[in-house]
Structures are given as C-alpha cells and as structure tokens.
C-alpha cells in the first residue's frame, strides 16, 4: 500500500514540486495533499498543475489563535489521512500538541547545516562568519525550532565574494536533490540519514 504524504508550504513551493515529482513509479509514497497557511503562496498553483489536492488554512483568519489555526489544519489532514508530513518552506512553528499527534512523522528542510544557523538569514550568517561550507538539512520536526534528528544533509561550497542570494540559489538546487532522497528512504522505513558531500552521495 502506498504511503500518503502531505506537504506544507508557505511560498514558492519549489521543494514541494521536487518532492511531488519524485513520488512516481515504484516509489512507495504518493502526495495526498499540499496545504498552505498562505492563500497567495505561489506553490498552490504549481500543486494544482501537478494534480495534487490543495487546501489553504489562512493563518491570518485566526488572529493569533494558534490552537484554532492548528485545529483547522488538522481537519484538512484528517480528510487526507497522510502517514508522513513534509514541511517544505512552511514558515510557521507547529505546537508541541500538533507534533505529538504526528509523532516522528513530520520532516522539514532547512537551508543550513544544522545545528548551525537555526532560524532565518542562514546564508548571510554563514558568509558573515567566514564559513567555507554551507548546505541544507532534512530533519525530524520537534517542538524546539530547527532541532530533531538529522535525516540528511547536503553540502555546498562558499566562494570568495559569494552573496547570500547566489549561495541560496546553489543551496536550493541541493535541497531539491536531498529532500526526495530522504523521503524515499523514510517512506521505506529506512531511517539511515543521507549525506551528500558536495557532488556525491556518500551513504
């Protein structure tokens, strides 16, 4: 039986597209829902074009009432019955209660080599710190932001004179490779992390 995957987005949805496009053929997972907290998210149209059911739970309609917002999200999830949730550029912090319900089955992609640079402006911070290597991480989602078991990383070199925008573009290309690889393993209940060293997958 196929594993059902819900993908949460807030914006462009390029990681969502790479995940959806990967779930074909003998992949054991299939997308069952793209859920956005933002009715203007560009990714919604992309999901529709890919023929994935979409739902919007506009966070602004709940005026800061997180519990009500998450109840509305849960109502959409209950209809779609996912076994795995992938956060893909979803910019809201999920509560402990929400995460308890999907214990260990929520993944996220973050644009840094965690535990370095949790939060925002990851690329600017890596350049500012004089790092030579940046990258992205897929991890299980825990109530503490950008924490949780690491399920995969991909590395990117930082060049002299790099800008946050140029680095973000190169890291995003790696995100599109890493997240599908991690999801494929994860949906087979193979929990070994994926490590991509610059242009190679190491194990």
**Smallest distance, ligand GAR to C-beta of residue 24, A:** 19
Asked if residues 57 and 95 have their Cβ atoms less than 8 Å apart, the reply is no
SS3 for 18?
helix
DSSP label at residue 195: E
Interaction with ligand GAR in 70-109: which residues (CB under 6 A)? 88-89, 109
Question: Could you tell me how many residues make up the chain?
Answer: 203
Contact residue for ligand GAR among 7, 13, 156, 186 (CB under 6 A):
13
Q: Does 175 bind ligand GAR (CB under 6 A)?
A: yes
Which residue among the candidates 59, 110, 123, 139 is catalytic per the annotation? 110
Q: Does 137 bind ligand GAR (CB under 6 A)?
A: no
DSSP label at residue 137: E
Q: Is 110 one of the catalytic residues? A: yes
Unique residue bearing structure tokens 């897929």: 138
Q: Does 110 bind ligand GAR (CB under 6 A)?
A: yes
**Tokens linked to 162:** 């790099």
Contact residue for ligand GAR among 23, 55, 134, 172 (CB under 6 A):
172
195 CB-contact burial (10 Å; exposed 0-12 / middle 13-18 / buried 19+): middle
Q: Tell me the CB-side half-sphere exposure of residue 165, using CA atoms within 13 A.
A: 0
Q: Based on CB atoms, which residue is closest to ligand GAR, 78 or 102?
A: 102
Q: Does 12 bind ligand GAR (CB under 6 A)?
A: yes
**Smallest distance, ligand GAR to C-beta of residue 186, A:** 17
Question: Mask 22-51, x = binds ligand GAR (CB under 6 A)?
Answer: ---------------------x--------
DSSP letter string, 142-171? -SSTT-S-EEEEEEEEPPTT--HHHHHHHH
The residues that touch ligand GAR, with contacts defined as CB under 6 A, are 9, 11-15, 43, 88-89, 109-111, 136, 172, 175
Active site members = 110
């Amino acid at each position: 039986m196929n594993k059902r995957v819900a993908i949460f987005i807030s914006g462009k949805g390029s990681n969502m597209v790479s995940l959806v496009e990967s779930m074909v053929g003998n992949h054991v997972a299939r997308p069952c829902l793209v859920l956005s907290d933002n009715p203007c998210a560009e990714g919604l149209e992309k999901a529709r074009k890919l023929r994935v059911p979409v739902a919007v739970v506009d966070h602004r309609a709940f005026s800061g009432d997180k519990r009500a917002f998450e109840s509305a999200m849960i109502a959409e999830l209950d209809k779609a019955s996912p076994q795995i949730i992938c956060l893909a550029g979803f910019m809201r912090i999920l509560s402990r209660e929400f995460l308890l319900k999907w214990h260990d089955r929520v993944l996220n992609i973050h644009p840094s080599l965690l535990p370095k640079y949790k939060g925002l402006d990851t690329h600017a911070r890596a350049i500012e710190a004089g790092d030579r290597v940046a990258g992205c991480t897929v991890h299980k989602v825990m109530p503490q932001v950008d924490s949780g078991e690491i399920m995969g990383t991909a590395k990117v070199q930082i060049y002299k004179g790099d800008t946050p925008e140029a680095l973000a573009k190169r890291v995003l290309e790696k995100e599109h490779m890493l997240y599908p690889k991690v999801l494929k393993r994860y949906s087979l209940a193979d929990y070994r992390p994926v490590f991509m060293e610059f242009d190679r997958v190491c194990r």
